[in-house]
Amino acid sequence: MLDNQPRGTIVIEDIEIGMMRYLQKVVTDRDIEMFAEVSTDRNPVHLDDDYARDTIFEGRIAHGMLTAGLISAVIGEQLPGHGTVYMGQSLKFLGPVRPGDMVRAEVEVIGIDHGKRRVQLDCRCLVNGKRVLIGEATVLAPSRKFD
């Protein structure tokens, strides 16, 4: 299940401090298996129930970067959207995401440099209202001038 806001592009000339976009997605076993395949990260904490039960997580968890990828989706599809170029991202993982969890990935504008077309974004992922990932991103936003 995927719930998100309309896709598109918000050009640098129309971006304002406080703008926020999000998506919500249920992380499935298939998502975790596909991420393991693509990333080649086959850590058993993600894939093996028996192994994962004996870890600090007491069960399987999604890859942290799978969760972080949802932030990338918000940035690349909604804010600023198509044509955005990632320049940097900081991440701090605060809690696990488990198969079946609904993750809400949010991105909020906290800084704008119109001259350089740079946008600073506060990024967070939540499960049941609890932050499981926080960070900041710097992106190069599209501009009307370069259409």
Whichever domain contains 67, its CATH number is 3.10.129.10
State how many domains the chain has: 1
Q: Which residues of the chain have pLDDT under 70?
A: 1-7, 146-147
Model's pTM, two decimal places?
A: 0.92
Taking a C-beta distance cutoff of 8 angstroms, is the pair 86, 139 a contact?
Answer: yes
pLDDT at 1: 46
Residue 78 lies in a domain: yes
For strand 130-140 and strand 118-127, is the pairing parallel, antiparallel, or unpaired?
A: antiparallel
Write the CA distances from 103 to 28, 38, 60, integer angstroms.
Answer: 11, 21, 16
Residue type, 93: F
Taking a C-beta distance cutoff of 8 angstroms, is the pair 60, 46 a contact?
Answer: yes
Peptide bond into 6 cis (omega under 30): no
pLDDT per residue as tens digits for the range 51-66: 999 999 999 999 999 9
The residue segments making up the domain with residue 89 are: 2-27+62-146
Residue 73 lies in a domain: yes
The long-range contacts involving 54-58, CB below 8 angstroms and separated by at least 24 positions, are: 57/96
Which tokens hold the place of 13? 């000339």
pLDDT per residue as tens digits for the range 68-81: 999 999 999 999 99
